[in-house]
Amino acid sequence: MNRPYNSMEPRVMDEDMLKLAVGEQGPRDEARQLARQEGILFKDVLSLRLDFQNILRIDGLWQFENLRKLQLDNNIIEKIEGLEHLVHLVWLDLSFNNIEAIEGLDTLVNLEDLSLFNNRISKIDSLDGLVKLQVLSLGNNNISHMMNIIYLRQFKDLRTLSLSGNPIAEAEDYKMFICAYLPDLVYLDFRRIDDHMKELAEIKYQYAIDELKQREHLIQVRLEEEQARREELEEHKAAFVEHLNGSFLFDSMYAEDTEGNKLAHLPGVSELLQAYKDKFVIICLNIFEYGLKQQEKRKVELDTFKECVQEAIQENQEQGKHRIAKFEEKHLLNLNAIRDESELSSFEMKIAEYSQDVSELFNVLMTLEMQLVEQLEETINMFERNITDLVALFIENVQSLMAQCRDLENHHHEKLLEIAINTLEKILKGELDEDLPEDARALFVDKDTIVNAVGTSHDLHLLKIDNREDELVTRTNSWCSHLVDTIHKDEITRNRRRVKEINQYIDHMQNELDNLECSEIID
């Protein structure tokens, strides 16, 4: 690292330095005049070179938000930083610096070409975000461990890699190893990998790679399964009936219910509980299936609605475009005619005619838009009515099913109470033959205690059911109102945008006309 400018003071990347660089590297010749006249905004710069500047710390680059190519080679940078905002970066050169670790590159998802040649890096990592990476130059570094290569397997587009000058490259089977583990690589250390080499490497490391592949495959499968499960849950959530396709609700009822669990040990209760559970789960499943079906219905409804609205808008746009095209055709002729006109009176007449045309166009376009607004409003109202009805029906049916659940619970409660009182009597009489756990026996002190215990359990269960029902109803309603709101809002935005567009266009036309008039008068 004996560089001639080592003696120089480290420099700071300041505004002046950047401006100078931009100015120097900006457009040439005639364009430079213009550039000087206007000045160049940093955010318009696409490519920037800052080499041999003795920079120690990267700074002040946040303004270059559209930068595609950045060269920072031959400096004394020690840490990669300050590049987070340059998300459009494709080409990054950080060679001949003093960097020790790869970092701060996670946001540069578009990066294709990265050079870290001649630095002090000892480990390849923190490159996960660079999914488009094609060229990676890591020569003359301190990479010593072969396992770093395996990390590079995740870059599917990587074609060129250089690692010469690293301790790793000294190894005997360095080339073979890389060829085997990175089969898609085309160039290694600036040389093309020949097919023969690839074959040899494949044979040599076949077992290791197969194993690796197997492992990767397993991970992949697991990820996919996870993904599928998540998606399914997401779907159920959209139908507002998640966790109802099994005994989740029932289990949750008993999860916090200590009394109920204690009472389960009473003779005859376990059978009762089992029967209760079965019935309960069946109702839950009913709700679940009904929910999915309703969701499907709502989706179809929504899709049809959107499609129809889209069609209507499309048609309206076509009409508008047609009108404008027709107008422009005429406009071109008019303009030429007006330009050629020499006589003042007929000129003015033509101008007046033209301005009439413009206002007529405006009227036509606005009428079209108003018409569409009216039509859409009607359709939207209809849709709103229908979707609200659908949701109301859904809620009503779910509620009736939930009521069945509650009935079941009440029934169960009565049965349980009966059993409990019977047991109490038996205990009091000392006729009980079965063994009861200590904590359960503790409940059978007197009638109040046992009734209270059973009652608590019952209340808890009812609460759970109510909660679930409330949740479902609130979420459904909020979804519905949100949907309707969005549709209304979207329609309003669309309308505003279209009106603005029309106005803008008409203004432009009017302006052109005014300009004509002015120029004519000046002439």
Select the span of 138-146, 311-319, 390-398, 436-444 touching another protein (CB under 8 A): 311-319
- Minimum separation from the CB atom of position 139 to another protein (A): 35
Looking at the Cβ atoms of 255 and 382, the one nearer to another protein is: 382
Taking residue 390's Cβ as centre, other Cβ atoms within 10 Å add up to 16
Residues 352-391 that bind another protein (CB under 8 A): 365, 371, 375-376, 378-379, 382-383
Report the alpha-carbon distance of residue 472 to residue 479 in Å, rounded.
Answer: 11
Residues 41-60 that bind another protein (CB under 8 A): 41, 44
Q: Which amino acid, 394? A: F
Looking at the Cβ atoms of 478 and 511, the one nearer to another protein is: 511
Q: Give exposure, 180-217, as e/b (b: 16+ Cβ within 10 Å).
A: bbbeebeebbeeebeeeeeeebeeebeeebeeeeeeee
Size of the site for another protein (CB under 8 A): 40
Crossing angle of helices 269-340/248-255, nearest 10°?
Answer: 120
Select the span of 168-176, 261-269, 318-326, 425-433 touching another protein (CB under 8 A): 318-326
Task: Find the largest Cα–Cα distance for the chain.
Answer: 125
**DSSP bridge partners of 91:** 69, 113
Q: Which of 274, 304, 359, 449 binds another protein (CB under 8 A)?
A: 304
Q: Residues 22-41: x/- map of binding to another protein (CB under 8 A)?
A: -----x--xx-xxx-xx-xx
Select the span of 139-147, 191-199, 300-308, 456-464 touching another protein (CB under 8 A): 300-308
Q: Which of 90, 320, 472, 480 binds another protein (CB under 8 A)?
A: 320
Torsion of Cα atoms, 398 then 403 then 406 then 412, to 10°: -110
Q: What are the Cα distances from residue 68, in Å, to 35, 65, 259?
A: 20, 9, 68
Looking at the Cβ atoms of 262 and 498, the one nearer to another protein is: 498
Select the span of 161-169, 175-183, 276-284, 504-512 touching another protein (CB under 8 A): 504-512
Is 189 in contact with 162 (CB distance < 8 Å)?
yes
Q: Which amino acid, 207? A: Y
Residue 312 touches another protein, criterion: CB under 8 A: yes
Residues 6 or more apart whose Cβ sits within 8 Å of residue 82 = 57, 58, 59, 60, 61, 62, 104
Looking at the Cβ atoms of 260 and 320, the one nearer to another protein is: 320
Residues 133-192 that bind another protein (CB under 8 A): none
Q: Which of 173, 210, 251, 307 binds another protein (CB under 8 A)?
A: 307
Looking at the Cβ atoms of 321 and 482, the one nearer to another protein is: 321
- Minimum separation from the CB atom of position 62 to another protein (A): 18
Residues 6 or more apart whose Cβ sits within 8 Å of residue 453 = 259, 262, 263, 420, 443
Report the alpha-carbon distance of residue 307 to residue 69 in Å, rounded.
Answer: 43
Residues 6 or more apart whose Cβ sits within 8 Å of residue 245 = 236, 284, 285, 288
- Minimum separation from the CB atom of position 321 to another protein (A): 5
Q: Residues 433-452: x/- map of binding to another protein (CB under 8 A)?
A: --------------------
Q: Which of 227, 359, 481, 504 binds another protein (CB under 8 A)?
A: 504
Binding site for another protein (CB under 8 A): 27, 30-31, 33-35, 37-38, 40-41, 44, 301, 304-305, 307-309, 311-313, 317, 320-321, 324, 365, 371, 375-376, 378-379, 382-383, 494, 497-498, 501-502, 504-505, 508
